[in-house]
Amino acid sequence: MKRRGFIKQSTLLGLGAMAACTPLNGKENQNSKSIVLSTWNHGLSANVAAWNILQAKGSALDAVEAGVRITEANPAFTSVGLGGLPDRDGRVTLDACIMNEQGEAGSVAFLENIMHPISVARKVMEETPHVMLVGEGAEKFAYDQGFKKVDLLTKESEIAWKEWLKESEYKPIINVENHDTIGMIAIDDYGNLSGACTTSGLAFKQNGRVGDSPIIGAGLFVDNEIGAATATGLGEEVIKTVGSFLIVELMRQGANPQAACEEAANRIIKKHGKPKFQVGYLALSKKGEIGAVSIHPGFQYAITSSKSATLKDAKSMLSSD
């Protein structure tokens, strides 16, 4: 993205941040156990939708679905849903998954023309005996379920793609835009955990490429006895280390969520030295403890509880130089 575009987009994103960073409306039940965590700046507006459900005694599952739908529908966020940057052939292809407190899961990958892949993933979980549908099959299933066909390529994303085509340089970079995949994990007032993860994937990826976000255990994992974790950043590295599953399993063995996220990031760092790509993890334990880690500085996450709605810096495992 050109610097001017980046500044314009940062301003847009920043306005959302200011609005959602204001104190909660004061009507919160101070004894509420509910917590919602999500990746990046766009998590703030997503958390507002999730929080409204949690405060109305809704389920964590409904909360995470409603939360990430906000991001999917916002064309300003060019890494998720509508307005997502296309692949190198100019096609916007989406990946998403969802998990509930019973450990059930639904997922879609390489899905085109559907605004809310997370809701299609939920339909896969609830209406089919399967976990994952991809490509044309997933799209046809979505239409059968009543989803509408939408052109997801916005003018702005088409311009960015045509600009990229001039050099067609294909190389993942450390994220500088304070948005990427949205992963959201939440615990509700009944003590149940759920999670959702949705993305348009790596910008200008090879046609057919699928990242970590729809892969259960990579982009997202929920175990209602232990905790939940989600990932953002370069999906290939998250898949190879089964990052979210790893974090929850480390928590099962006694690690707190922060230590578990640090170990998962370190597994990647050990293989690459100082990698030129970013990966970030969020984790939430059954007790409501939080973990937030990235390889490089710059990964922020949104956290909403009965105390506040804020954007925080995750701990970075490497320094910025």
Q: What is the DSSP letter of 128?
A: S
Q: Binding to ligand GLY by residue 202, rule CB under 6 A?
A: yes
Site for ligand GLY in 159-188 (CB under 6 A): 181
Find the shortest distance in angstroms from Cβ 89 to ligand GLY: 16
- Token pair 């045509």 is found at 162
Q: Binding to ligand GLY by residue 78, rule CB under 6 A?
A: no
Annotated catalytic residue 39:
no
User: Three-class SS of residue 186?
Assistant: strand
How far, in Å, CA of 59 to CA of 178, rounded? 28
How far, in Å, CA of 166 to CA of 94, rounded? 24
Binding piece for ligand GLY, criterion CB under 6 A, among 25-33, 116-124, 138-146, 233-241: 233-241
- Residue selected from 37, 186, 234, 248 as contacting ligand GLY according to rule CB under 6 A: 234
Q: Binding to ligand GLY by residue 235, rule CB under 6 A?
A: yes
Q: Please enumerate in sequence order all residues whose Cβ is within 8 A of that of 184, keeping only pairs 6 or more positions apart, or say none.
A: 36, 37, 38, 39, 43, 46, 47, 50, 64, 67, 68, 195, 196, 197, 230
- Residue selected from 43, 106, 217, 233 as contacting ligand GLY according to rule CB under 6 A: 233
Find the shortest distance in angstroms from Cβ 174 to ligand GLY: 13
Q: Binding to ligand GLY by residue 249, rule CB under 6 A?
A: no
Q: Binding to ligand GLY by residue 265, rule CB under 6 A?
A: no
How far, in Å, CA of 205 to CA of 5, rounded? 20
Site for ligand GLY in 210-229 (CB under 6 A): 211-213
| Cβ neighbours of 88 (radius 10 Å) | 16
In the complex, the residues that contact ligand GLY under the rule CB under 6 A are 181, 199, 201-202, 211-213, 232-235
